[in-house]
């Protein structure tokens, strides 16, 4: 079972370039999330989508946009990359987004912005 699939695994950008991180899940989950992981800061929520057709800001949304293309796919776009966006990005999904649910994570995208 694939679970949550993220692409690409690694990416190097120059300041000002744009790119889209792709995420797809095959578990028929309603909710999807984008997190970033930085040293000493744990995981911080960028955006989430509680269900198809809805998206909401998380803790650190500035500089990012998202699209919930359909129930399976949730993409994260950096319109004009900045060095502060160098991080490891994780996509995750959960069945309904309720209080007690565990998250299923992708394997991450390591992004460097020069």
Partner 1 sequence: AQKVTQAQTEISVVEKEDVTLDCVYETRDTTYYLFWYKQPPSGELVFLIRRNSFDEQNEISGRYSWNFQKSTSSFNFTITASQVVDSAVYFCALKGVEKLTFGTGTRLTIIP
Which residues contact partner 1 (rule: CB under 8 A)? 40-45, 48, 58-59, 88, 90, 92, 99-100, 102-108
Smallest gap from Cβ 42 to partner 1, in A, equals 4
Judged by CB, which is closer to partner 1: 7, or 17? 7
Q: Which residue has the tokens 């796919």?
A: 73
Judged by CB, which is closer to partner 1: 17, or 104? 104
Tell me the chain's radius of gyration from C-alpha atoms.
13
Helix (H, G, I), strand (E, B) or coil at 75: strand
Number of H helices, E strands in the chain: 0, 11
Judged by CB, which is closer to partner 1: 14, or 42? 42
């Amino acid at each position: 079972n694939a679970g949550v699939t993220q692409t690409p695994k690694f990416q190097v950008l120059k300041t000002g370039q744009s790119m889209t991180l792709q995420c797809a899940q095959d578990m028929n989950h309603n909710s999807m999330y984008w997190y970033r992981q930085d040293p000493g800061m744990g995981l911080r929520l960028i955006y989430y989508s509680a269900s198809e057709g809805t998206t909401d800001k998380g803790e650190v949304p500035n500089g990012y946009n998202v699209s919930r293309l359909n129930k399976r796919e949730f993409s994260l776009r950096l319109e004009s990359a900045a060095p502060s966006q160098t991080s490891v990005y994780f996509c995750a999904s959960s069945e309904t987004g309720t209080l007690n649910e565990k998250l299923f994570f992708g394997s991450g995208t390591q992004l460097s912005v020069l």
